[in-house]
Structure 1
Amino acid sequence: MSDTTALSAEERYDLEAARDGDEAAFARLVGPHRAALHAHCYRMLGSVHDAEDALQEALLGAWRGIGGFEGRSPLRSWLYRIATNAAIRISRRQSRRVLAAEHGAARTSVHELGEPVTESVFVEPYPDTELRDWSGYADPEARYELLESVELAFVAALQELPATQRAVLVLRDVLAMPAAEVAETLQTSVASVNSALQRARQTMDRRLEPASQQVTLRALGGDGQQKLVRAFVRAWEHHDIDGLVGLLAKDARFTMPPLPAWFDGRTAVGGFFAERIFENPWKLVPMTANGQLAVACYMGDVAGNAFPLSAVNVLTIRGQEIVALDGFLDPAAQRPFGLPPEAPR
């Protein structure tokens, strides 16, 4: 029998059973890691749906290769190695995903929003419930917190990196894997890993704001966050344009992927709300996404008889102001959140 000292007794039992073709044992082995692997693939790909494809490919690869896993390293490391390479393969077949504000110029007219972009080009929102459950258990050597590592700006910045640099940064700075283990995962040298990490960090530092959303939200505190969200919901639902504009930073932006239209600056965003958004009644439900404040937006018909789900709107905060509203209109992007299809009564 192989040396399996890196595994618990239960894992060793399930490993041997899985090697003999026991699918239930394999499911028990990988089950505790599944959600974390999905989040890892999301960071790599910027898409919940691409992450699901990468995860399925990785789990299939793990099942087929279980006979070659000797258990001398932690199961977690072996699974991340397979998932990372699956995500790299998928990323090389896909276009780079971006935030909607990076896709084209801001609009000046509120009446022409363009046709939805059908190609998969936009970073998608991520349901962060399970990451919140684990946020207190992150590796203390990690440079980025778990929630910080799925913030929209962070994931979008990751997509700018070449696939190998992206993998190195996530494995080293989010998962705190040793450089030697990362080198083995990517079949390269430790020196190459360290060089790629340095270049990746430079790009991320250039792209990201000095304060992450986690730092900003902690500074606001729980009461401050609730106060801001309540004011935002109240202004939107009551069509209070002055109240809503008063919550926005001067350089605020509002995007609506998959629509190409987006609006830049407090005045432009306020004009769009006044002339288009406030044509209909709304109900908003506070939530979280990507480690950030968010709201589920339900747009009613003119009579206000029905309020189907219209958007998941992710808020980015700077100080005490909203600097970005990213409203995801695609039902496919909303579906992973498991939201009610109509506003709760």
Structure 2
Amino acid sequence: MSALEEGPVTLADAPVRRLNMIEAINEALHLMMARDDSVVVFGEDVGYFGGVFRATAGLQKTFGKSRVFDTPINECGIIGAAVGMAAYGLRPVPEIQFADYIYPGYDQLVSEAARLRYRSAGEFIAPITVRSPFGGGIFGGQTHSQSPEALFTHVAGLKVVIPSTPHDAKGLLIAAIEDNDPVIFFEPKRIYNGPFNGYYDKPVEPWARHPDSEVPEGYYSIPLGKARIVREGEALTVLAYGTMIHVAEAVLAEKGVDAEIIDLRTLLPLDIETVKKSVEKTGKCLIVHEATRTGGFGGELSALVQEHCFYHLEAPIERVTGFDTPYPHSLEWAYFPGPVRIGEAVDRLLASGGRRAAPGGRNDAVRNG
């Protein structure tokens, strides 16, 4: 039976366990494959070995080689096969081993998966969930550390999801697999394994540690397109996603700033209403992401905040991002938006003057001519 035929299920009172993100993703895959026999998982080393990060460990043993299988090193072929499977009624969940390798499959995602529903007038759909570790944090250098999310938020017909906690990773992945449109599900590898630094288990600075979290047993889903307010505040709004949620939270706590932190969770579709409500309240906005600055998703966020909240802004919008360089290996921690650069941006925002918006939505200077 398809999971969709069973209707919505909520487990608000379900027992919880503390899991890291890898464990939560693995649990979501096990659960969805057990509930829906149209779900298939495949990719490089995902079957017998269980994935380079172990996210698919145990799946092939449980569900067999016809539903969990290894593929050649051919990302174009992996995504192309997923499109065909989806058109014939399956719900494929292909893994691209690193986001850095996704580019050969980009044409299939943009030209085929994203357009199939529209091109066929709804006769065919592409319920594909493309999982891929992304971002830095494992000293992988420029071929294992990229953050290409902005390349996909530009594409109409795709959805882009980036969790920041194990709880959200499980619920969002379930929702993505159930969705009838193609979803790019980027998993921040730097926070895969709880309080340590990803694949190599090297301890990192306290401000960069990210603990596991409580994850309910059984089925639950988190709607795509709905942001999470990490903490409420009045001084300024911080917009971030993935690893940067934890970094920003640690920096602001250390500085004692009463900031409101919003975890976007889904970049496309974006929960602009939650963003708008927060910026209208605080009057100041800081955007943080790990990807390069030019053409990064922070530029789109900045434009949207400007369009929706212009008369409420008290200061220019600040962006703290990765640098416009190929990803460095030895200077990885300098490349990340960290305490120094985030702290400086917060200080500039807090020092900025300006008058708050009048109740009518226009500031006093404009309202009084």
TM-score range, shorter chain: under 0.3
TM-score normalised to structure 2 length: 0.25
Comparing both structures, which one devotes a greater share of its residues to helix? 1
